[in-house]
Amino acid sequence: MIICICNAVREGDLRAAARCCSGDAEEVYRCMGVEPQCRQCLDEAADICMEERACAA
């Protein structure tokens, strides 16, 4: 599933980056080499990052 249309960020890629990168959703985007554009995806991206980190703990 595409999470960020502006940057074509897929859920699986975001989950993998969240496991490797610390920080908020914007920092995870930077680790992926992209920046949030319209910012409408950030709430969902933040939820996914929290889910991944909770599973890793």
- CATH number at 24 reads 1.10.10.1100
Number of separate domains in the chain: 1
Centroid of chain to Cα 31 = 9
Short-list 33, 30, 29, CA closest to 3: 29
Range of the domain at 9: 2-56
Sequence-separated (6 or more) residues with CB below 8 Å from residue 20: 31
Give the pLDDT confidence of 7-44 residue by residue, as tens digits.
Answer: 999 999 999 999 999 899 999 999 999 999 999 999 99
Residue 56 has pLDDT above 80, yes or no: no
Q: 6 falls in which pLDDT band (50, 70, 90)? A: very high
SS3 46: helix
**Contact 29/9 with Cβ under 8 angstroms?**
yes
pTM higher than the cut 0.95:
no
Sequence-separated (6 or more) residues with CB below 8 Å from residue 47: none
